[in-house]
Chains A and B, each alone.
Chain A
Amino acid sequence: MWRAQRNDQHNSVKVAVTHIATAELANAQVKSCCSGKGSRARCVVSSPTRRADNRACSGGSGIRCLGASAPFCRERRRVGRWFVNRSHHLCVTWRQERMADDKDVLRDVWFGRIPACFTLYQDEITEREAEPFYLLLPRVSYLTLVTDKVKKHFLKVMKAEDVEEMWFEYEGTPLKWHYPIGVLFDLHASNTALPWSVTVHFKNFPERDLLHCPSNSVIEAHFMSSIKEADALKHKGQVINDMQKKDHKQLWMGLQNDKFDQFWAMNRKLMEYPTEEGGFRYIPFRVYQTTSDRPFIQRLFRPMSQEGCHQTLGDLLKEVFPAAIPQDDEPKRYQVVIHGIEPMLETPIQWLSEHLSHPDNFLHISIIPSPSD
């Protein structure tokens, strides 16, 4: 919504921006009001929390506000009022109008990346020295789905007969490819220096620890199985069963090809719920920690209490892992990490399930000991 008032007496234009705007959009409005005004317009940017900043703008019939380079001009979440006064000052007042869109969170989650360095295990037989291979890993994907380049790189220096199924290890722990990459990182290496140093093996597959992954269809089957299980918890399986095979395929292809829109076109159906319910039937979640034999904790947990209150992350932890909730006078023993961040314990679990779930529709929560530094 734009309102531009031209005040010829003061040679000013007041442009009120009541909606999300970029500096370019605001500038276009000013331009339309000020065509032929003069050669230069000075952009003065001020906000309640910042002192006024003068930025020179190039003028003429195309007024380009160099204030666009100021941090909060680029900030799409701010709105402001622009003035062009007699000395061609553009006065901008910035007010924070609204919070980050929830959809921004979905994008940030999907496009999260972890820089990794892959090194060949020293005992592998090579024809010449193997250089480490660097790769940005998608947090929401799976190791065996995104490491074809890693395999190609190391196969260049190895003989075919010395190559069996590739598997990964971090500091002696075999990495479970069927866990999302971000979960593996948060669980094992989140408080260590980047890049994440992963060791690559082509022999002595640890049969007792790792699932085999002979082809992408195994990853697909595992992924779809998780989605199905999540829907069983959220909707008794009704939504996923009503979808056609091609819809299931679209979910997988979206993940495989890193296509956010393609994936969410289908996934949004799995995030719906009857309004009167207030949320899903049960929240699909898994809590991981490295200090127990048990791989994860998974329980039935309702997002809405009997009285209709939104349950929080803290409520869930109270039931499933009470030690993670810091006591008043004690220092925090554990970090509760989702997608590499520590959400506030007051966050409603329904919101977390809708926005911070992985593509497999599960909320994967890592509980790691607080760093002692």
Chain B
Amino acid sequence: MSSDTDLAPVSCYLDEETFRLSCQLFIQHSSSIKDGWSWVQENASLEGYMTKTVVVAGKTALDHCRNGHSHLEHEADAMSVVEQQVDDEEEAPGQQLEADGHGVMRYEYHVLYSCSYQIPVLYFRASMLNGRSLSLADVWNSVHPSYIKRLLQEPWDTITQQEHPLLGQPFFVLHPCRTEEFMRPALETAHAQRKKVNYIVTWLSVVGPVVGLDIPLSYATAVGAPSLPDLC
């Protein structure tokens, strides 16, 4: 048998088949703990994505102070406001709004597969109960300050608005550029310990919290990796 020091290089990439199977295992556990994830199939092809909708109490105070201003001002000021917050460290990550329905928001999370980068990508959008969509400024404001500094440093590590490749509607996306950077240590450690890892669990546990998505710890222990012949 090969020793622990004999390690083949770990691939930080995910093929589409493994993506689908990993999501299925993820969703099985989600059903057992009623965590709300489901799979959406895109017509006859096997293409699809994992989705979850969350309703939360309002975290953003932006729309209250900016009523009546144009949307453009939101965008231009958002970055400076956010940077100010990081420097001052005054603001708590969120402020409760009056309970008149304005503070309740609906977050939709989609986990899609990118064949270009061969990794999963997290898409999300949010709207108020009255239908008003969250702006990029609102999204930045709801990101925890400890993540904002890192996101501001690298322009490609950032949150941008993109078109959902299957629905054609605007979503926010956490840029997938640096996925390899944080997946590699996790995958190599698991490989060294001869542990099978569910890529989606590991990946979502890292990127989810940045945008307010909570992944309960039970996923780490309960969800297995898809059994594929080349993993040993």
Contacts and interface: CB of A to CB of B under 8 A. Distances in A.
B15 to A, nearest CB: 10
Contact of A164 (B42, B70, B117, B162): B70
Contact of A295 (B115, B155, B156, B168): B168
B116 A233 contact: yes
Nearest to B72: A214
A265 interface: no
Nearest to B13: A236
Given A221-B160, A229-B116, A229-B117, A296 B165 contact: yes
A210 B116 contact: no
B165 A212 contact: no
A209 B169 contact: yes
Contacts of A296: 165
A165 B71 contact: yes
Given A294-B166, A295-B168, A300-B115, A212 B42 contact: no
Contacts of B92: none
A292 B5 CA distance: 52
Interface residues of A, number: 30
A232 B116 contact: yes
A52 interface: no
Contact of B169 (A208, A221, A233): A208
Contacts of A233: 116
A269 interface: no
B110 to A, nearest CB: 14
A310 interface: no
Contact of A212 (B115, B136, B168, B169): B136
B165 A298 contact: yes
A164 B72 contact: yes
B163 A176 contact: yes
A273 B42 CA distance: 34
A205 B70 CA distance: 11
Interface string A271-311: 00000000000001000000001111011100000000000
Given A176-B163, A207-B170, A294-B168, A221 B76 contact: no
Contacts of B72: 164-165, 214
B136 to A, nearest CB: 7
B161 interface: yes
A207 B163 contact: no
Contacts of A345: none
Interface string A195-227: 000000000010111111011001001100100
A99 B71 CA distance: 53
B167 interface: yes
A211 B170 contact: yes
Nearest to B170: A211
Contacts of B170: 207-212
A164 B69 CA distance: 10
B76 to A, nearest CB: 7
Nearest to A179: B163
Identify which of B156, B162, B170 gathers the most chain A CB atoms within 10 Å of its CB.
Answer: B170
B42 A294 contact: yes
A298 B115 contact: yes
Interface in A25-40: none
A89 interface: no
A163 B69 CA distance: 11
B146 interface: no
Given A176-B163, A295-B165, A212 B117 contact: no
A225 B75 CA distance: 20
Interface in A160-185: 163-165, 176, 178
Contacts of B168: 293-295
Contacts of A205: 71
A298 B114 CA distance: 10
Nearest to A208: B169
B135 interface: yes
B189 interface: no
Interface of B: 42, 70-72, 75-76, 115-117, 133, 135-136, 155-156, 160-170, 175, 177
17 contacts: A205-B71, A207-B133, A208-B133, A209-B170, A211-B170, A212-B71, A214-B72, A214-B76, A221-B155, A221-B160, A225-B156, A229-B117, A232-B116, A232-B117, A293-B168, A295-B168, A299-B115
Interface of A: 163-165, 176, 178, 205, 207-212, 214-215, 218, 221-222, 225, 228-229, 232-233, 284, 293-296, 298-300
9 closest residue pairs by CB, A with B: A295-B168, A214-B75, A207-B133, A229-B116, A211-B161, A211-B170, A232-B116, A300-B115, A164-B70
